Each structure stands twice: as structure tokens, then as C-alpha cells.
Chain A
Amino acid sequence: MDLRYSEQQEILKKSARDFLTKECPKAKVRELENDAKGYDPALWQKMGELGWLGFNIPEDYEGMGYSFEDLAMHIEEVGKNILPGPYISTVVNTFAIVEAGTEEQKKDLLPKISNGNCILTLAWLEDNGLFDASGITLKAVHKGNDYVLNGTKMFVDGAHVANNMIVVARTKDGSGEDGITLFLIDAKAAGIKTEVIPTIALDHLCEVVFKDVAVPAKDVLGKVDKGWPILQMLIRKGSILKSAESFGGLQAVFEMTVAYAKERVQYDRPIGAFQALQHKMSDMWITLGTSKYLLYEAAWKESEGEPNSKEASMTKAYINEAYKLITALGVKLHGGIGTSSDHDVPLYYRRAKAADTAYGSTDYHRELVAQQIGMK
């Protein structure tokens, strides 16, 4: 057992921190919240040059081939800084191609993604808001050499700027896990209409309407009717990486809050001298500590190829709540200034709510946990 960061992880973390501090200050974060695209293409290019988009892509396809654990450590720093745009979803969605794509799909897309020339999003949720298989109703009907897609997807990250999209569709009647198929399509294909939904984190989640969108059969990702296990894999990995991002964010707020409590003077002393505030900050620390190794355990198991779906769901369910708790305390301990849109803490507070629904809500993951701890 050795629960310390490796030297490489320390370096990875530091270089991510240094890059983002310089390239993505909070002024840029705010600017991009209200930008039509919601991300900075020049920054995306630089990230591509640094290999950030190819962390999890094998070297054979122009990627870096890093371990999942290293990727999680890197994403933690991204979350600490905040990086607007569909970065984490592109990285997570890439796993679907790496693990289930044909050689042709891999050769076509992986180098592009790695080099920063392709944003890849996932059209999964629908207006029923369900995370399980029964929520998938968008129909894909086989016609000749094509599948024809009709329906609406919701909360699709950066669909308006994406180059490619993985669409989760029903290819068979029913509402179970069988009969779900993934399609890897051009995000600008005829019949697709996207619209940005105003969300709490202003993070450019979209409604995507598919009207008679014809997709060649060769663009099926994985096997027809057998898409659910691939999506489950994305949910598992996405849950861990989204939690890593949240864990970075909650650390940032914790650090800001403690620093502020040391410098803000009221009643002739720093407010951090008051026990009412001290104990809240101690609770933030305890929440941070208990989140940390839960996350790292899930990430480490993923790297080692050990079964970890229980740990991944535990991590997501726990850190969802931890991030909300810590950012809410962060706002309150800052007092009036903590409620201002000019202040950094609310940037994280709003993202904590957004992060909580990405890759499954707390209740969704608790149900998965219940199944895996033997609740019949």
C-alpha cells in the first residue's frame, strides 16, 4: 500500500496548475460563460498541443497513453482552476471509441481529438430526465443502409460547437437495456438542430433535435442493440472523472475560505479566530479528506482494471454532496461578498450543482450502490 502521489503525478498536477493559472484566469471563465461558443478555440488548440486531449488515447493513435489514475489527477487540477468548455466530456466520450470503436473509427477520430481538432459530445439524456436505460426513447429505424434518427436529446454538452456526437438511441421496441445502440455521427449532419439551454453553470448544455437524420450503418459504435454496456462504461469513467473535477473545485473553495478567514478582520480580530467559523472550516476539511481517498481508490481500481462500479458510484454520490456542502459553506463564510457574481466562490457553487447531475445524480448512484451492497 502506498497512498502517495507518484513523482509523475506531482509533475502533471503542477504543470496543469501553471498552465491554467496563466491561460484561464477567472476573468476568462466569466467571459466564456456568456460567450456564444462557451469555450476558447485558441486555448483548445494549445491544450491539444500539450497533449491534454490525448491523455487517454493510445500512442498508436497519436495520444499520450497515460493511466486513468494520472488522468484523474490532471482533471482534479482542471476542476480546481475551472476550465469552461466540453473538455471533460470530450475526454470521457473518447473512451467509447478507444474501447468499442472499429479500427476505421479509431484512425479517423482519435488523432483528430488528440490534436485538438475534434470536440466529441454525448447525446444521452432526454426530456424525461432519467439516467437509467428506460430514459432512452429516441428512435433509430433501420432503412436500407442507413438508420434514421428521430427524437430529442437534452443536456448535451457543447453540442452547438461539437464536431462529432455519440447518440444513444433505441433500435428495438421496449425500455430495457437491450435494444439500445450508439451511433457515432457528424454533429453537423442534416436534420440536427441545436439550441443552448440556460443552465446554472452557464456551461452550454444543449437541446438537440433530430429530424429524419440519416446515419450510415457503418457509424454504429459497438454492436447494434448492445450499446448499453458501453454507455455504462462511460457513466462509470465519467463519474470518476467528474468527481475528480469536483474534488479539485471543492479544494479551491476550501483554500479560498480559510485564506479569507485569516485576513478578514471584524471585532478587532480575523474572523477565523471565531470558533463558530473554525468548526465549519474543520468540517470542510473532514469532508475534503473523506472525499479524497474514496476518489483515488475508484480511480486506481479503474487503472488496474479491477471491478469498481460500486466504488465509482459511491464516489460520485459522495462527492456530489461534498462539493455542494463545501461551496455553500464557502459562500456563507465569505458573508456578503460571497454572494457577489464578481466573486470566485459562486462560480464553484453554481458548478457544484451542474456537476451533481452530470453522469448521474446522487440518488441515481445511491440506487446503484444499494444494488451492489446486497440490497435485494
Chain B
Amino acid sequence: MDFRLTEEQVARRKEIYKVCEELEKKKPKSYVGFESQFDNEEGWAFHRYCAKEFAKRGWLALGWPKEYGGTGTMMDKVLLAEARGYYDLPGSDIFGVSMLAPTLLAAGSEEIKREFLPKIASAEVMFCELWSEPNAGSDLAGMTSTAVRKGDEFIVNGQKTWNTGAHYADWGFGVYKSDPNGKKHHNLTFILNNMKDKGVTVRGIPYMNGSHVYNEVYLDDVDMSAKYIVGQENEGWAVVNVLAGFERSNMDMVYGLVKAQEEFVNFCNETKRHGKPLSQDPMVRNKIAEFACSIEAVRTLAYRVADQQNRNEMGLMDAASVKVFASELLEKFGQIATDLLGPYGQVKHSKWAKLNGSAEYNYQACFVPIVSMGTNEIQRNIIAWYGLGLPRMK
């Protein structure tokens, strides 16, 4: 085995960290945590600013084929996620850069690739996902929104929900029932649409902490052009599977934890209780050390996922493990940190807050990674069914 990065990768890592460290200094005060990019104008402007900074270095097209403007390697992409996670920076559109771009590369027509990949790479267009519906959460089979073909257009009607950032996104990608009589898995079509299209209404669903991350999106007789179909008409399920099959090392979440640990250790060193630093309390030492062991464990596994990704191997089970473990570790950290802050654990980002209010923030925001992108329970099903070969639920 070899855990070492190549000299080239080490240099690249240094370069990426340097850029991110500089960007962090420009972070608005209201940017408390990883979902702050969606919460207000300032956060979204910072997201777009970071995205432009990355785009001009070619960092939103890392690992793509050269013919579509690709730069660098898959490992560079992992290194950027690491640095962004460490400095808690937005700037890489999870829907456009992480999900849609690889889907287009794998399943998009030449035309659609030529139109959208440059816009994603240049940070000109930000995407949102129009996926879940009120009665189709983990189980997409319950989907009821329809896309009826009329010549070169689809007339789309229905309601989508849990659409992260839809209130700021320029374009959306969604799946709709396009053949009411079609067989299961052969009746959906995957289409891109402009969020400014007539008939698209976006309403916020306030997150438990009051921030604006999620939305519901109403589609009333929205005209979507057939040229924006990804894959084949009525074969959107296959595209969904391509998209779901992309590996994610979740390195940004992992390095967010690395940073959280460092900040918390500093806090414990500087905070006195009963005349002694909190860091000298054996219980505190034990808890933080336990947390550190878990972070290192998931960091090494995330690197294994990245290593596989870099060789174009699939490591879906390991990727699912990282997603579940890291997000639940964030939940646990939210609990430990708020507990150790005592009465200050409840204070939101404000002049009274300790650690900029990050503990209170994580205590609530942790459920975003836990329930999104396939809930952790769905991830456990995936591991059981596809990884361990246990019988699938009917």
C-alpha cells in the first residue's frame, strides 16, 4: 500500500489550500456553516464569487475529458473538496458540478454536453435538483408529476419538494412521468429546465433553524424543450441510476469535521472551568479523542474511495459507508459540542455565541447530510442489498 500523495499532488494540494485560505478571509460574517450559501443574498453572492475564483483556475471541470474543457485529475477534485471542507467554503455547485456534469458526460447527447458543460465549468449557471415529491421521497415510484409531449415540447405539471437552493438556481434538472401507461422504470423522462420559465413557482420551506435551504417547486403547464432531455425519452430511470452511481468521497464533509475538531481543541485549551482549562478534564479529553479517532477512521476510508475513483473503479459500498458515518459523526459532534458549551450550547451565531455559533448550527444542520442524497437508512439498504447480498425488500 501507499498512502502518499505524489509530489505533483502535494504541490497541487498546497496551491488549492492557499487559494481556499485566501477565500476564507472574504467569508461574510453571516456565513456560519455549510448551508449558509443558500440562506441569504450575502451567502449566495459569496458562493458565486468562490465559484468564479475556482472556475478561472479550471477547478470546476477537474477530471473531465479534455475535449469538454476538462483540467486536472479526479484526485485534484478530491483535494479541492478537502480544502473546501476544511475552510467551509461553497463555490462548487453540488448539483451542477458534482451531479449533473458527470451525468451529462456519461449519458448526455453531444448537443447538450456542448451547451451545458462550459456553463457549469465557468460557474455561469447554477443548478438545482427537482426530484422528490410530496409522496415520492425515498421511493421515486410514487412520483405523480407529469410531462406530456406535444411536438418538440413537454408540458410539465406537478409539485416537487426539498429542492435545495431552488430559489437561487438558474436551471433545474428533474424527472417526470412521461408515459402514464409505461412500465415501471420505463415511464420517466429526465429533463433540464430554466427556473425562470413561465409556470415555475418556488416557495421556501424553512429549515428547523429558520434558514432558507429547501424549497417546494410548483410546475404549472411549464413548457420544457425536448432538446433538454438527458438520455432517452421515458428512460429517465436509467439516467437517475447513472447519477446515483457516481461515487462521492464526501471529502468536504470529512474535512469539515477535521476543522471542527481543531477548533474545538483550541476552545478547550482556552476555556477555563473551575480555574483549569477545559482540556484538562479527563472526560473531555476522552470524548474529543474518541471523536478524533472516528474522524481519522472515516478520513482514511474516504481516501480509499478517492483512490478507487481515481482508477475508475467503483466503490459504492465504501462511499455509502463514508456518507453514513461522516454525517452521523457530525450529528454526534453537534451533541458533544453543545453539551460541553453548557448554557452557551444553545446560543445562535451572535455576539454571545462561542465558536461563532457553530455548535448550535451543527446540532441542527447535521440532518441535511443525513437525510439528503439518499437517507442514511436508504444507504444502509444499499449496503445490505447490493453489498452484502441480503434479500431485497419487496
Contacts and interface: CB of A to CB of B under 8 A. Distances in A.
Interface stretch (B24-32, B112-120, B185-193, B381-389): B381-389
A194 B223 CA distance: 87
A63 interface: no
A373 B4 CA distance: 21
A262 B265 contact: no
Interface string B243-273: 0000000000000000001100110110000
A275 interface: yes
A1 B384 contact: no
Nearest to A293: B300
B292 A314 contact: yes
Interface string B284-300: 01101110111011101
B1 interface: yes
Interface string B1-19: 1111110010000000000
B137 to A, nearest CB: 16
A1 B296 contact: no
A366 B291 CA distance: 10
A200 interface: no
B360 interface: no
A283 B310 CA distance: 26
Interface centre among A262, A291, A300, A376 (most CB of B within 10 A): A376
B255 to A, nearest CB: 15
A contacts with B: majority SS: helix
Residue of B297, B303, B379 with most partner-chain A CB within 10 A: B297
A322 to B, nearest CB: 9
Interface residues of B, number: 54
Contacts of A376: 269, 277, 279-280
B301 A279 contact: no
A258 B289 contact: no
Interface string B365-394: 000000000000101110111011111010
A47 B321 CA distance: 37
Looking at A279, A290, A318, A367, the one whose CB has the most chain B CB atoms below 10 A away is A290
Contact of B2 (A1, A282, A374): A1
A292 B317 CA distance: 14
A150 B203 CA distance: 79
A2 B307 contact: yes
B2 A300 contact: yes
Interface string A1-27: 111111000000000000000000000
A3 B1 contact: yes
A301 B234 CA distance: 52
A1 B3 contact: yes
Given A4-B1, A273-B390, A296-B300, A278 B265 contact: no
B64 interface: no
Contact of A290 (B75, B279, B298, B381): B298
A92 B380 CA distance: 38
A69 interface: yes
Contact of A275 (B296, B389, B393): B393
B391 A273 contact: yes
A375 B377 contact: no
Contact of B265 (A6, A293, A318, A374): A374
A6 B2 CA distance: 10
Nearest to A292: B301
B324 interface: yes
Contact of B3 (A5, A270, A279, A301): A301
Interface string A339-376: 00000000000000000000000010011011001111
B234 to A, nearest CB: 31
B318 interface: yes
A297 interface: yes
Contact of A286 (B261, B269, B307, B321): B321
B380 A282 contact: yes
A279 B294 contact: no
A289 interface: yes
Contacts of B307: 1-4
A258 B388 contact: yes
A314 B300 CA distance: 12
Contacts of A278: 380-381, 384-385, 388, 390
A281 B289 CA distance: 26
Contact of B391 (A69, A272, A283, A314): A272
Contacts of A182: none
Contacts of B379: 282
Interface in A287-320: 289-294, 296-297, 300-301, 311, 314, 317-318
Given A258-B390, A290-B294, A376-B280, A282 B3 contact: no
A247 to B, nearest CB: 12
B285 A285 contact: no
B390 A262 contact: yes
B11 to A, nearest CB: 15
Nearest to B261: A373
Nearest to B384: A278
A272 B385 CA distance: 10
A369 B1 contact: no
8 contacts: A258-B389, A258-B390, A270-B390, A273-B390, A282-B387, A294-B300, A374-B262, A375-B285
Interface of A: 1-6, 69, 258, 261-262, 269-270, 272-273, 275, 278-279, 281-283, 285-286, 289-294, 296-297, 300-301, 311, 314, 317-318, 363, 366-367, 369-370, 373-376
Given A4-B307, A376-B269, 7 more contacts: A1-B3, A3-B3, A6-B1, A286-B324, A293-B297, A300-B3, A374-B269
**4 closest residue pairs by CB, A with B:** A293-B300, A366-B289, A278-B384, A282-B380
